[in-house]
Chain A
Amino acid sequence: MPDLVLKPLTALGHDAPLTESLGPWTLTERADVALASLAPRRGRAEDVARIAAAAGIALPSPAMSAMGAVFGSFWMTPEMWMIEAPFDSHSDIRAHLLGLFGDAASITEQTDAWVRFDLSGENLPHLFEKLANFDLATAPEGAATRTVIEHMGCYLVKRSATQVTIYGGRSSAQSLHHALKLAAQAQA
Chain B
Amino acid sequence: MSQTNRISGGQIDRSKSLRFTFDGVTYSGHAGDTLASALLANGVRLMGRSFKYHRPRGPISAGSEEPNALVELRSGARQEPNTRATVVELFDGLVAQSQNRWPSLSFDAMAINDRFNTFFTAGFYYKTFMWPAAFWEKVYEPIIRRAAGLGSLSRLEDPDDYDKGFLHCDLLVIGAGPSGLMAALTAGRAGLRVILADEDFRMGGRLNAETLGVGDQSGADWAAGVVAELASLPNVRMMPRTTVYGAFDHGIYGAVERVSDHLPVPMAGKPRQTAWRIYTKRAILAAGAIERPIPFENNDRPGIMLAGALRAYANRWGVAAGRRVAVFTNNDDGLRTATDLQVKGVDVVAVIDTRSGGPLLAGIRHLQGAEVIDSRGRLGLTEITVRSAKGAVETLRVEALGVSGGWNPNVSLTSHHRSRPIWRDDLAAFVPASDAPAGLIPVGAAMGDLSTHAALRGGAEAAAQVVADLGHGSARYDLPKAEDAPVAITPHWYVKSDKGRAWIDQQNDVTVKDVKLAHQENFTSVEHLKRYTTLGMATDQGKTGNVLGMAVMAELTGKSIPQTGTTIYRPPYTPVSLGALGGRSRGKDFKPFRLTPSHKWASEQGAIFVEVGMWLRTQWLPRKGETEWRQSVDREVLATRKSVGICDVTTLGKIDIQGTDAGAFLDRVYANTFSTLAVGKCRYGLMLREDGMVFDDGTTARMGPSEYVMTTTTANAVTVFRHLEYCRQCLWPDLDVQIISTTEAWAQYSVAGPNARKLLQKIVDQDISDAAFPYMGAGEITVGGLRARLFRISFSGELAYEIAVPTRYGDAMIRALVEAGREFDAVVYGTEALGVMRIEKGHVAGNALNGQSTALNMGLGKMVSRKKDAIGVLMSQRTELVREDGLRLVGVKPVNPAEPLKAGSHFLKTGAAATAEHDDGWLTSMVYSPHLGHHIALGYLKNGTARIGERMRAVNLLAGTDTEIEIVSPHFIDPEGERLRA
Using known A-B contacts A92-B787, A113-B807, determine if residue A108 contacts B656 with beta carbons closer than 8 Å.
Answer: yes
Q: Which of A2, A108, A114, A186 is the one whose CB lies under 8 Å from B784?
A: A2
Residues of A126-175 contacting chain B, CB below 8 A: 129-130, 132-135, 137-138, 150-152, 169-175
Q: Identify which of A36-44, A49-57, A60-68 touches chain B.
A: A36-44
Q: Does B736 contact A (CB under 8 A)?
A: yes
Task: Give the A-B pair count, Cβ closer than 8 A.
Answer: 156
Determine whether the beta carbon of A110 is less than 8 Å from that of B740: yes
Determine whether the beta carbon of B812 is less than 8 Å from that of A130: no
Q: Does B250 contact A (CB under 8 A)?
A: no
Q: Tell me the bound Cα distance from A6 to B784 in angstroms.
A: 8
A120 neighbours in B (Cβ, 8 Å): none
Residues of B329-343 contacting chain A, CB below 8 A: none
Q: Does A99 contact B (CB under 8 A)?
A: no
Using known A-B contacts A133-B279, A135-B279, A182-B584, determine if residue A6 contacts B742 with beta carbons closer than 8 Å.
Answer: no
0/1 per residue, B609-627, Cβ < 8 Å to A?
A: 0000011000000000000
**Chain A: which residue is nearest B760 at the CB level?**
A1
Q: Does A118 contact B (CB under 8 A)?
A: no
CB distance from A138 to the nearest CB of B (A): 7
Determine whether the beta carbon of B736 is less than 8 Å from that of A151: no
Q: Does A124 contact B (CB under 8 A)?
A: no
Determine whether the beta carbon of B270 is less than 8 Å from that of A186: yes
Q: Does A185 contact B (CB under 8 A)?
A: yes
Q: Which of A42, A107, A137 is the one whose CB lies under 8 Å from B168?
A: A137
CB distance from A50 to the nearest CB of B (A): 19
**Chain B: which residue is nearest A133 at the CB level?**
B166
Q: Does A176 contact B (CB under 8 A)?
A: yes
Determine whether the beta carbon of B742 is less than 8 Å from that of A31: no
Q: Which of B277, B744, B765 has the most CB of A within 10 A?
A: B744
Determine whether the beta carbon of A186 is less than 8 Å from that of B271: yes
B745 neighbours in A (Cβ, 8 Å): 109-113, 170
Q: Tell me the bound Cα distance from A58 to B292 in angstroms.
A: 65
Determine whether the beta carbon of B809 is less than 8 Å from that of A130: no
Q: Which of B163, B742, B805 is the one whose CB lies under 8 Å from A130?
A: B163
Q: Which of A4, A9, A108 is the one whose CB lies under 8 Å from B658?
A: A108
**Chain B: which residue is nearest A152 at the CB level?**
B592
A170 neighbours in B (Cβ, 8 Å): 744-745, 807
Q: Identify which of B4-12, B133-141, B552-560, B593-601 touches chain A.
A: B593-601
Using known A-B contacts A137-B168, A138-B168, A186-B271, determine if residue A175 contacts B816 with beta carbons closer than 8 Å.
Answer: no
Q: In terms of DSSP, what is the predominant structure of the interface of chain B?
A: mixed
Q: Tell me the bound Cα distance from A133 to B614 in angstroms.
A: 22
Q: Tell me the bound Cα distance from A133 to B279 in angstroms.
A: 9
Residues of B653-671 contacting chain A, CB below 8 A: 656, 658-661
Q: Which of B166, B658, B736, B808 is the one whose CB lies under 8 Å from A134?
A: B166
Determine whether the beta carbon of B744 is less than 8 Å from that of A112: yes
Determine whether the beta carbon of B270 is less than 8 Å from that of A114: no
Q: Does A18 contact B (CB under 8 A)?
A: no
Using known A-B contacts A4-B783, A6-B805, A92-B787, determine if residue A42 contacts B659 with beta carbons closer than 8 Å.
Answer: yes
CB distance from A125 to the nearest CB of B (A): 9
CB distance from B332 to the nearest CB of A (A): 45
Q: Tell me the bound Cα distance from A139 to B808 in angstroms.
A: 33
Determine whether the beta carbon of A113 is less than 8 Å from that of B592: no
Q: Does B811 contact A (CB under 8 A)?
A: yes
Q: Tell me the bound Cα distance from A31 to B813 in angstroms.
A: 18
B594 neighbours in A (Cβ, 8 Å): 169, 171-172, 175
0/1 per residue, B36-52, Cβ < 8 Å to A?
A: 00000000000000000
A137 neighbours in B (Cβ, 8 Å): 168
Q: Tell me the bound Cα distance from A132 to B787 in angstroms.
A: 36
Using known A-B contacts A132-B166, A171-B596, A171-B744, determine if residue A9 contacts B584 with beta carbons closer than 8 Å.
Answer: no
Chain A interface residue count, CB cutoff 8 Å, equals 56
Determine whether the beta carbon of B813 is less than 8 Å from that of A6: yes
Q: Does B831 contact A (CB under 8 A)?
A: no
A11 neighbours in B (Cβ, 8 Å): 808
A133 neighbours in B (Cβ, 8 Å): 166, 277, 279
Q: Does A20 contact B (CB under 8 A)?
A: no
A178 neighbours in B (Cβ, 8 Å): 589
B763 neighbours in A (Cβ, 8 Å): 1, 4
B735 neighbours in A (Cβ, 8 Å): 42
Determine whether the beta carbon of B740 is less than 8 Å from that of A37: yes
Determine whether the beta carbon of A112 is less than 8 Å from that of B615: no
Q: Which of A39, A80, A174 is the one whose CB lies under 8 Å from B593?
A: A174
Q: Tell me the bound Cα distance from A114 to B746 in angstroms.
A: 11
Q: Does A28 contact B (CB under 8 A)?
A: no
Determine whether the beta carbon of A130 is less than 8 Å from that of B165: yes
Residues of B563-599 contacting chain A, CB below 8 A: 584-585, 589, 591-596, 599
Q: Does A69 contact B (CB under 8 A)?
A: no
Q: Tell me the bound Cα distance from A103 to B736 in angstroms.
A: 12
B507 neighbours in A (Cβ, 8 Å): none
Determine whether the beta carbon of A129 is less than 8 Å from that of B808: no
Q: Which of B615, B762, B786, B813 has the most CB of A within 10 A?
A: B786
Q: Tell me the bound Cα distance from A79 to B163 in angstroms.
A: 36
Q: Does B738 contact A (CB under 8 A)?
A: yes
Residues of A60-102 contacting chain B, CB below 8 A: 79-80, 92
Determine whether the beta carbon of A103 is less than 8 Å from that of B706: yes
Determine whether the beta carbon of B812 is less than 8 Å from that of A129: no
Determine whether the beta carbon of A129 is less than 8 Å from that of B167: yes
CB distance from A44 to the nearest CB of B (A): 9
Determine whether the beta carbon of A188 is less than 8 Å from that of B166: no
CB distance from B610 to the nearest CB of A (A): 15
B269 neighbours in A (Cβ, 8 Å): 185-186, 188
Q: Does A46 contact B (CB under 8 A)?
A: no
CB distance from B464 to the nearest CB of A (A): 22
0/1 per residue, B745-762, Cβ < 8 Å to A?
A: 111000000000000001
A179 neighbours in B (Cβ, 8 Å): 584, 592
Residues of B759-801 contacting chain A, CB below 8 A: 762-765, 783-787
Q: Does B820 contact A (CB under 8 A)?
A: yes
Q: Tell me the bound Cα distance from A108 to B661 in angstroms.
A: 17
Nearest 4 A/B pairs, CB to CB: A175-B592, A106-B658, A42-B736, A4-B784
Q: What residues of chain A have their CB less than 8 Å away from a CB belonging to chain B? A: 1-11, 13, 31, 37, 39, 41-43, 79-80, 92, 103, 106-114, 129-130, 132-135, 137-138, 150-152, 169-176, 178-179, 182, 185-186, 188
Known: A137-B168, A171-B650. 8 other contacts (CB 8 A): A6-B784, A8-B808, A106-B656, A106-B658, A107-B658, A133-B279, A170-B744, A186-B271
20 contacts between A and B (CB under 8 A): A1-B764, A4-B783, A6-B805, A9-B600, A9-B808, A31-B808, A41-B736, A42-B660, A42-B735, A80-B738, A80-B740, A106-B706, A113-B743, A113-B745, A133-B277, A150-B585, A151-B585, A151-B591, A173-B595, A176-B592
